[in-house]
Structure 1
Amino acid sequence: MPRLRRGPITCDLLVKSREAAMQAVQAFNNPLATFRTEAFIVLMVISWTYLMHAYFRKAGIEYRYYDQKTMRKRFHLTQGGTYRYWELERCLIEEKCPLDPAMKSNLRFLIGLRHEIEHHQSAGVDEQFAGRYLACCLNYERVLVEQFGDKFSLGTALGYVLQFRDLTAPILATEAKNPLPAEVARYVQQFESELPEDEFQSPYFSYRLLFVRKLTSKRGQADRAIEFISADSDLAKTIDKDYWVLREVERPKHRASEIVKMMKAEGFPWFTMGSHTALWRELDGKNPGKGYGIGIAGQWLWYDKWIDAVRASCKADLQRQELIESVIKN
């Protein structure tokens, strides 16, 4: 029976994995490229597949397809007579796969997205899911270093991306976003509706940042293009230098079904999806100007501000009911 051997083959897998990852980032950052997302996903899937194979080989886990009706394994072969190895989707369901659940969801999302845009238009996908592409890269670097050490890190392999557009609020606010094709929008809505809330909010699934610019009038204090500090640190409140303060841009978002469960758990058993729909219509909750939530890929998600409004409404309903019952008793 053929056995997996460690050593040079593992290193070869890592070399291929790292090269595919670098080519993926270069393809996405190429301003002349038209199919950036497609190229990025294809190359990152190849990169992750090699990385998982290297991990399984190191751990002594068989990652070739086979049947075992007797004591002897019968390995599956390709038409060319070589072994059939696990594709990435199969690697992700392996019990000993080292990835965080949100990392797996990120990869499954990208694989499914590629299937949707493979033979259709892909307008809008470059911009709308950039946070998920970035999370894919950061997850890859994290797993690569954790499993094989700093010597394989890609952290210094690629430098800053230079561009011709300033990151100012007016420019970003007026930048037009292409609507997603209907097939892609349906896929995104279906995928996210089945995703656990903790994975949906995880930076391993989508990495979201906000850069808040602070200008300086002093010379010699802006040699570096970007410096990062904690947004809530004392330094961020007092410095007078050219800093870009790093903090999370996305507030927590919640589905309507989650809010209904939350209200029931807090002692408002009468609150249903119908109650929720009636309330947001009454309060014009989906008016973007009120800041209660945001529409993403055809699905409306609610901020904590809306939960506070729902909770206040439920408490008011409870007080009215208690008052009515008190009057009836008297």
Structure 2
Amino acid sequence: MVKRNSAGALTDEERPVVKALLKKGWRNQDIQHLLNKGRVATINSARITEVKADASITAAPKDDVDFFIRKKDAYDPVTGLNLYDDERLIRAREAMMLAVQSFNSPTLRFKAEQFAVQSNIAWTYLLHEHYSRKGVDIVGKDGRSLLLSQMIKRHDFPLSKGVSNNIAAVIKIRDAVEHKLFRRSDEKFFSLFQASCLNFDEAICELFGDRLSLKSELSFALQFAKLRFAHMTELQKHDVPEHIEALDAELEKGLSEEEKADLSYKFRVVYLLESATKSKSHFDFVRPDSAEGKEIHNILEKRVIADEHYPYKPGQAAKLIADRSGKRFSSHNHMQAWKRYKVRPKSKAKQPEQTNKDYCIFHKAHGDYTYSAAWVDFVVEKISDADEFEALKATK
């Protein structure tokens, strides 16, 4: 945030103020408390005593003292930001908070428009502060400050290529909303906006410290009410004007496949539906670049359901189980087994395809079920226990 003082030292600005406060009758501990507001390295009372004993120090004028006190009282105890020294960072954080709040608000209709504008402001303030502290003149001879589109193209841009690509995409959306109606296109850009939020929080922490994180002040939540994937797919097809579809294509123009897949450019999650009762069903959100996400991706890519994986009809499965186990195991026992271990729905179920895919699949073309070798192994192991086999035979 502001330029900090070295440990135990008073600045040339502070010494005259301390002299003035001493003359006004302030106690050493009260002056020390005032001076240490917003400091990383605090001073001790001895420094104040030194000012008191140094006759060469002249007391600061009243206006200077009043402003010094006002400035010290302008520190945010949570972030450590000062209203006078860190105005750009305060504005940057507030602009991003407004962007998220407006997008999440149920009463606002122009969500994409609001987010695109406010987030551009947030990123502009953030990068202006970064370059200003690096000694870069952010105001040109024409009196105009560096544009966000210029800063993300600089060779010394401090963040990743994925972040700059994401910002560039949101800039294009911001430019488009000035001239065209977006109608109901908010969902179209959600993944870009989510990435922008996460990128901003990571960037402000990386460049200016973890105390500035927005995580404790904003909650990014995805809410689902009776979510149906088919319905969500249909939503993507309707209410999106042609010029928005064209803009969506323009955003990724020139990006490589690797850049498009960068999570800093566009946020993605893997939706993992866990098998559970309706009252306990839920979604797990997994980052695609995590170990679990990669495993799920491999399963989605490589585990292809095919008839050859489920070669056995019920009678064939029952015979194999009998041969392998050495026990009498009829087709009726096989029916009891799939009921007991819940590997398929009952006959005439509304969703016959809802099976345990490790053991069984439903063939829509001819309306029956076939079973895998894993199912045979599973049942053979189960009925090797005499008590379990008796329990199975009692299943209705």
Alignment TM-score, normalising by the size of structure 2:
0.48
Tell me how far apart the structure 1 counterparts of residues 235 and 183 of structure 2 sit (CA, whole Å): 14
Which structure has more RCO (C-alpha within 8 Å, separation ≥ 6)?
A: 1
Distance change >3 Å, CA 211–CA 150, structure 1 → 2: same
Verify: 1:49 aligned to 2:109, yes or no.
Answer: no
After superposition, what is the alpha-carbon deviation per residue over 1:100-131, rounded to whole angstroms, capped at 9, x for unaligned?
12211111111112222322221343111211
Among 166, 183, 188, the alignment partner of 1:123 is 183
Among 6, 20, 41, the alignment partner of 2:95 is 20
Aligned residue in 1 for 2:211: 151
CA displacement at 1:188 relative to structure 2: 3.1
Work out whether residues 139 and 204 of structure 1, in 8 Å CA contact, stay in contact via their aligned partners in 2: yes
Tell me how far apart the structure 1 counterparts of residues 154 and 95 of structure 2 sit (CA, whole Å): 23
CA RMSD, Structure 1 to Structure 2 (Å): 3.7
SS at match of 1:187: helix
CA displacement at 1:86 relative to structure 2: 1.4
Work out whether residues 14 and 54 of structure 1, in 8 Å CA contact, stay in contact via their aligned partners in 2: yes
Work out whether residues 208 and 249 of structure 1, in 8 Å CA contact, stay in contact via their aligned partners in 2: no
Among 96, 109, 119, the alignment partner of 2:169 is 109
Verify: 1:207 aligned to 2:207, yes or no.
Answer: no
1:22-37 matched pairs, under 5 angstroms: 22-37=97-112
CA displacement at 1:60 relative to structure 2: 1.7
Distance change >3 Å, CA 212–CA 24, structure 1 → 2: same
Aligned residue in 2 for 1:258: none
Aligned residue in 2 for 1:90: 150
Work out whether residues 10 and 58 of structure 1, in 8 Å CA contact, stay in contact via their aligned partners in 2: no
Gaps of 5+ in 2: 5-81, 302-396
Distance change >3 Å, CA 50–CA 247, structure 1 → 2: farther
1:64-103 matched pairs, under 5 angstroms: 64-66=139-141, 76-77=142-143, 84-103=144-163
Work out whether residues 126 and 204 of structure 2, in 8 Å CA contact, stay in contact via their aligned partners in 1: yes
Query: Larger C-alpha radius of gyration, 1 or 2?
Result: 2
Distance change >3 Å, CA 227–CA 176, structure 1 → 2: closer
Work out whether residues 183 and 240 of structure 2, in 8 Å CA contact, stay in contact via their aligned partners in 1: yes
Among 159, 182, 186, the alignment partner of 2:246 is 186
SS at match of 1:129: helix
After superposition, what is the alpha-carbon deviation per residue over 1:13-46, rounded to whole angstroms, capped at 9, x for unaligned?
1111001101100000111211100100100000
Which structure 1 residue ranges, 4+ long, deviate > 6 Å from structure 2? 229-236, 245-251
Alignment TM-score, normalising by the size of structure 1:
0.57
Gaps of 5+ in 1: 67-75, 78-83, 237-244, 252-330
**Percentage of pairs with the same residue:** 27
Tell me how far apart the structure 2 counterparts of residues 249 and 6 of structure 1 sit (CA, whole Å): 52
CA displacement at 1:185 relative to structure 2: 2.8
1:118-267 matched pairs, under 5 angstroms: 118-159=178-219, 161=221, 163=223, 165-169=225-229, 171-175=231-235, 177-214=237-274
Residue-pair matches, total: 221
Work out whether residues 92 and 125 of structure 2, in 8 Å CA contact, stay in contact via their aligned partners in 1: yes
Matched letter for residue 97 of structure 2: M
Verify: 1:58 aligned to 2:133, yes or no.
Answer: yes
Distance change >3 Å, CA 229–CA 211, structure 1 → 2: closer
Distance change >3 Å, CA 27–CA 229, structure 1 → 2: closer
Work out whether residues 229 and 246 of structure 1, in 8 Å CA contact, stay in contact via their aligned partners in 2: no
Matched letter for residue 39 of structure 1: Q
After superposition, what is the alpha-carbon deviation per residue over 1:240-280, rounded to whole angstroms, capped at 9, x for unaligned?
xxxxx9979998xxxxxxxxxxxxxxxxxxxxxxxxxxxxx
Moved more, 172-181 or 44-53: 172-181
Tell me how far apart the structure 2 counterparts of residues 97 and 199 of structure 1 sit (CA, whole Å): 17
